[in-house]
Amino acid sequence: MALWGGRFKGGSSDKFKAFNDSLPFDQILVQQDIQGSIGWSKAIHKAGVLTLDEQQKMEQALVDLSAKVESGEIDFTDSAAEDIHSWVEGELIEVIGDIARKLHTGRSRNDQVSTDLRLWSREQVDVIIETLNAVVVELINLADNNKQHILPGYTHLQRAQPIRFAHWCMAYVEMLKRDISRLQDARVRLNQSPLGCGALAGTTYEINRYDLANSLGFDGPCLNSLDAVSDRDYVLELLFAASTGMMHLSRFAEDLIFFNSGEANFITLGDAVTSGSSLMPQKKNPDALELIRGKCGRVYGSLQALLVTLKGLPLAYNKDMQEDKQGLFDALEQWVSCLDMAGEVINSIELNSAECAKAARGGYANATELADYLVGKGVPFRTAHDITGAVVLYAISQGEPLESLRLDEFKQFSSLIEADVYPVLELEYLVDKRNILGGTGIEPVTKVIEQSRLQLGSANYVVRDAKLTDIRAIVKLVNYWSSREENLPRSEDDLIKSIRDFAVIEVNGQVCACAALYIYSTGLAEIRSLGVTINHQGKGYGQKLCQFLLDRAKALSLIKVFVLTRKPKFFEMLDFLPGDKDTLPEKVMKDCDLCPKQDNCDEEALIYNLSDHHSMPHLLNSIDVTVEQ
């Protein structure tokens, strides 16, 4: 099915269709296209294009289609659809008939595809950040377990100064942390909604684009329709972040390939991440690391290809922009794959500490310390430098490191050198003398490891009572989850009046979750309007809020707290027990009569008896959280 063709007398040739169609690769956006279509159906219902019955039928058909895709029932190769947008609409027409033909009213594939791609990209950013964090944890653990071990540091691939192996590990931790921050920044800029911008000039229908954006989890709408449909700088940002991240991984791989070589022999890589030779039985090749290094160029190619594609395009949309997807899909897939493999490699590393120390001593890296020692004895630095150079030349001729020379040998070059020179020449002294912040000494390295683990282990968040200044964030959260029918809609005026009922979680100064404890006149209380922003899910914030409100209910001497939910397992983890909606007349009278699903309610009632619970140590012990009463 094509979404165009009315002005054409003939069909496309088979060659053109194969050349033009994007379904073979943009099928990856199917769930995002369904999600955006549900949001659009609600928007055009509010604009008077769809009746409530039509919108509900359309939404249910889209939800059912999403479930079929999720279960693997769909084979896209059987379809002749041009792209994922026409495929979704065609499937919808098969189920609900001509009603589905109204879905595209006021919408273009131009704003639709940009919306789909932004939704997909947002999800991928969250996945990559999680994967990056996992690799950071592995590196921190490797550093922490090898703080005592010393190896040569290099400049120009020549031994320069000794460093702790943990210091090397933490260098890559810093790089990966910046990779995370780049993605976080890019996520903010891409999380704007193009939907409602039409082909290039906007739409004539009365669409509230702010509500539409909020319903899809965007921070707001794009403010210029030309820009919204025709720029892909958010894709470039992700490709640049991927290229930079892969560059870091490639350097990491190159270091370890050298460390693992027979010439260095600093580490041994595990069998799980190496392979053998078909000819030479003695070989153990670092193939995982070489592939990481090799795939870096592949990701660079995706960035360069899109830059070249976009550089000469006039506003607004051009079909060239269909080339924005395959490179992005592949680059992010390769990045995640390489990060996963880097984690495997890190887990397999065994440090050959004796070889590391031997190499660190063999490079005369302690020559600078000998010069500083002479300066401490009153010798001018330039003279000390000349003396030390002569000592190094002598040590090389003897085939000995500096610390192995006898005292009488040292005195050939300066009578000021005494027995107290030997501690100065030891590896640990050389390393730990650099005890400044950012240095390789044991104290700064240990401190950085502890700080990084602390930063990674717990975000800077607070659970507290809501304030009136939180109202915009609360309205956005409530509207988003009510649009997905996870809770009932509440007007801003209603939320302002009930602000004292709410509690919020604030992460790094921003409200990311909210919930309310509503008390009925009978003393029964309900936890409602629970919502967590998409990019903060999976961190236990929902549980933290519920626990906070249960503690509030307990302090008020309430007896029971109930919830109505489609996710009973979540509340059962908090010791809520199944209940009966018929025993909640207060709820039925206040809210259920207003609910569009009152005759077909699919929510379950669960009740928490406060008198049966004096405390919840099993939750409190697992939650590292600051609570403001």
Lowest mean pLDDT segment, chosen from 199-203, 454-458, 489-493, 553-557: 454-458
Q: Which amino acid is at 423?
A: P
For residue range 138-188, list pLDDT tens digits in order: 999 999 999 999 999 998 988 888 999 999 999 999 999 999 999 999 999
Question: Two tokens at 200?
Answer: 């290039």
pLDDT (mean) for 408-432:
92
Q: Kindly report whether the peptide bond that precedes residue 160 is cis, defined as omega within 30 degrees of 0.
A: no
Catalytic residue from among 277, 404, 611, 622? 277
103: Cβ contacts below 8 Å, ≥ 6 apart: 37, 40, 41, 44, 58, 89, 92
For residue range 63-91, list pLDDT tens digits in order: 999 999 999 999 998 898 999 999 999 99
Distance CA 29, CA 322 (A): 13
* 583-588-594 Cα angle (round to 5): 165
pLDDT at 254: 97
> Is this model's pTM higher than 0.85 or not?
no
- Are 154 and 113 in contact, with CB atoms under 8 Å apart? no
Alpha helices, DSSP H, located in 216-271: 225-230, 233-260
Q: Is the pLDDT of residue 615 over 70?
A: no
Cα dist from 188 to 132, 145, 219, 348, 467, whole Å: 18, 36, 8, 36, 25
pLDDT at 409: 95
pLDDT (mean) for 92-117:
96
pLDDT at 629: 29
pLDDT bucket at 621, cuts 50 / 70 / 90:
very low
pLDDT at 69: 94
pLDDT at 625: 34
Q: What are phi and psi of 395, to 5 degrees?
A: -60, -40
Is 275 tagged catalytic?
A: no
Nearest to 370 by CA among 340, 402, 343, 338: 402
pLDDT (mean) for 292-298:
97
Percent of the chain exceeding pLDDT 70 equals 91
For residue range 260-275, list pLDDT tens digits in order: 999 999 999 999 898 8
Catalytic residue from among 156, 278, 397, 415? 156
Is 156 tagged catalytic?
A: yes
Q: With H, G, I as helix, E, B as strand and everything else as coil, classify residue 548.
A: helix
pLDDT (mean) for 97-107:
95
pLDDT (mean) for 309-314:
95
CATH numbers and ranges of domains, the chain: 14-102 (1.10.275.10), 109-358 (1.20.200.10), 367-425 (1.10.40.30), 458-628 (3.40.630.30)
pLDDT bucket at 595, cuts 50 / 70 / 90:
low
pLDDT at 454: 76
